[in-house]
Amino acid sequence: MQKIEIKAEQFFELLKLKDTSMWEIFAQMIDGNEKEIIFLDNEDKILFNYILPSNSEKLEEDRTEFSKQFSEKLTNLN
C-alpha cells in the first residue's frame, strides 16, 4: 500500500484557498489501489490517518459516515 504524508495545516489552508473539499481531492487520487494518507503536524508527528479506498463508491460511504460522526460531535459540544 502506498503511503502519502500530508502536512495537515498546509493542506487544510490550501483547501480553504481553493474553496474545495478534501473529499474532492481524495476522489481525484483514486486509481484502483488503496493508499494510506497520513496527516502530520508541523513537527512531523502523526495527527491521524485515512485509508483511501480503491473505488469512489467506498469513498462516498466514508464521506457519509464522516459527515454523520462530525455532526454528532458538533451536537455534543453544544
Q: How much is the pLDDT for 77? A: 66
Report the candidate in 2, 4, 61 with the shortest Cα–Cα distance to residue 38.
4
Q: What is the pLDDT of residue 60?
A: 93
Backbone angles phi, psi at 31, to 5 degrees: -140, 20
Contacts of 6 (CB under 8 A, 6+ apart): 37, 38, 39, 40
pLDDT by residue for the chain (78 residues), tens digit each? Answer: 899 999 999 999 999 999 999 999 999 999 999 999 999 999 999 999 999 999 999 999 999 988 888 777 767 765
What burial class does residue 18 get, using C-beta atoms within 10 Å of its C-beta: 0-12 exposed, 13-18 middle, 19+ buried? exposed
pTM beyond cutoff 0.95: no
pLDDT at residue 72, as a whole number? 76
pLDDT of residue 78: 59
